[in-house]
Amino acid sequence: MTGTPVRLDLSSPSRGPRGKPPKHFVDLTPEQRIDAVTELGEKPFRAKQLATHYFTHLSNDPATMTDLPKATRDKLVEGLFPRLLTAHKTMTADNGTTVKTLWHLFDGAKVESVLMRYKNRTTLCISSQAGCGLACAFCATGQMGLTRNLSTAEIVEQVRAAGRMLADGEVPGGPTRLTNVVFMGMGEPLANYKSVMETVRRLVAPTPDGLGMSARNITVSTVGMVPAMNKLAGEGIPVTLALSLHAPDDELRSELVPVNTRWSVAEAIDSAHRYFVATGRRVSIEYAMMRDINDQAWRADLLGELLNQRGRGWVHCNPIPLNPVPGSKWTASDPQVEQEFVARLRAHGIPTTVRDTRGSEIDGACGQLAAEEDE
């Protein structure tokens, strides 16, 4: 990685009252879009035209909608495409192939998304809530508390904006498409279940009703909200489920991830396994490696045993060096300790890949940018 740490200026726009975001075209189903267009006095087929501009051409700019009469497009865009996100700050690392954007929402709430370009894929990490109410001990977002849930359109807009950026060749390597989306930015996605599922539906719906992405390339993460995980298993959309476990024993996990006092390690793993059985999709176990906290070899052994108790071949482990939050005691494990942890998991037959820490120089841990701005 290249670049130097960037600190934000602390000026922030005036914050209005927190509230419900205005309804947007993307919040609507294809049928509702037709109703909305006709309510504005336009012909039903205009809905399809607008959907094509938005989902196929990734545009919400009336200037590009030249197949609609000017007055029509201005009226429809004004009525159905309220501005939901404003890019307040953009930071890059990795020679420009990692782009982090701090967005201001209509009411002054802040969220982040991170676009990462790799050799064979492009991945966008998106936020589903402004802040988060689950208070994980090591997480910058968790220290902020929950501001509010994002609407479907506020989440999809992060994806459209990244797709546009890639199509316009703004990320080094030439114009390309967005291939992967991970719900690993700010917030607990399953605590905003309805909007997140509606977002997934928009992402996988074939163009022009949606973005036409593959469900397999969409990862929904959770710290283990068991009832919602069980519900997700019944949706019939085979997204990848990532369970952020971070500890294999209840004692430590309840300290790190307070929601564990509600649903234990065993319950979370059982639910993840049920997801595999229902969907055939291998589940990812995320494990932030924290020095001297959760990185002991015995914990790797315990994790391997717990996963194998449910069966073989159903899970993949992703240890990830913790992105330290400035000023906190939490920091990443030593590389040798991490290697030993990985070796132990592999010895138990668990496929294990250390995830990279792209963007750590730009306050890559989710929530850090927004948290700093609030200081």
Rounded Cα gap, residues 73 and 66, in angstroms = 8
Instruction: Name the residue number minimizing CB distance to ligand SF4.
Output: 142
- Based on the residue annotation, tell me whether 366 is a catalytic residue of this protein: yes
142 binds ligand SF4 (CB under 6 A): yes
Q: Integer distance in angstroms from the first to the last C-alpha of the chain?
A: 27
Which of 42, 112 has the CB closer to ligand SF4? 112
Local structure of residue 287 (DSSP, 8 states)? E
Local structure of residue 95 (DSSP, 8 states)? G
State in angstroms the smallest separation of the CB of 271 from ligand SF4.
16
DSSP H helices in 127-207 = 140-144, 152-167, 193-204
Cβ(337)–Cβ(291) below 8 Å: yes
289 binds ligand SF4 (CB under 6 A): no
CA neighbor of 276 nearest in space, from 244, 320, 307, 245: 307
Which of 79, 133 has the CB closer to ligand SF4? 133
β-bridge partners, 86: 104
Which of 49, 129 has the CB closer to ligand SF4? 129
198 binds ligand SF4 (CB under 6 A): no
State in angstroms the smallest separation of the CB of 202 from ligand SF4.
22
What is the full DSSP assignment across 300-335? HHHHHHHHHHT-SSSEEEEEEE--PPTTSS--BPPH
Among 37, 139, 229, 350, which residue interacts with ligand SF4 (rule: CB under 6 A)?
A: 139
Rounded Cα gap, residues 191 and 227, in angstroms = 11
Which of 314, 330 has the CB closer to ligand SF4? 330
Which of 28, 228 has the CB closer to ligand SF4? 228
β-bridge partners, 41: none
286 binds ligand SF4 (CB under 6 A): no
Among 51, 93, 105, 136, which residue interacts with ligand SF4 (rule: CB under 6 A)?
A: 136
State in angstroms the smallest separation of the CB of 248 from ligand SF4.
17
Query: How many residues of this chain interact with ligand SF4, rule: CB under 6 A?
Result: 11
146 binds ligand SF4 (CB under 6 A): no
- Work out the number of other CB atoms within 10 angstroms of the CB of residue 313: 10
Which one of the listed residues 42, 112, 154, 338 is annotated catalytic?
Answer: 112
187 binds ligand SF4 (CB under 6 A): yes
Among 49, 72, 123, 141, which residue interacts with ligand SF4 (rule: CB under 6 A)?
A: 141
Please report, as residue ranges, which positions from 210 to 239 form the binding site for ligand SF4 (by CB under 6 A).
Answer: 223
132 binds ligand SF4 (CB under 6 A): yes
- Work out the number of other CB atoms within 10 angstroms of the CB of residue 167: 16
Which of 97, 244 has the CB closer to ligand SF4? 244
CA neighbor of 360 nearest in space, from 320, 319, 318, 324: 324
- Kindly give, in sequence order, each residue whose CB lies less than 8 Å from that of residue 336, ignoring residues fewer than 6 positions away: none
Which one of the listed residues 132, 136, 139, 366 is annotated catalytic?
Answer: 366
CA neighbor of 354 nearest in space, from 337, 369, 374: 337
Rounded Cα gap, residues 344 and 317, in angstroms = 12
Which of 106, 330 has the CB closer to ligand SF4? 330
Which of these segments, 25-33, 49-57, 103-111, 182-190, binds ligand SF4 (CB under 6 A)? 182-190
State in angstroms the smallest separation of the CB of 208 from ligand SF4.
33
- Based on the residue annotation, tell me whether 112 is a catalytic residue of this protein: yes
β-bridge partners, 77: none
Among 154, 188, 286, 338, which residue interacts with ligand SF4 (rule: CB under 6 A)?
A: 188
Pairing relationship of beta strands 129-131 and 122-125 according to DSSP bridges: unpaired
Interface residues with ligand SF4 (CB under 6 A) are 132, 134-136, 139, 141-142, 186-188, 223
Catalytic residues: 112, 366
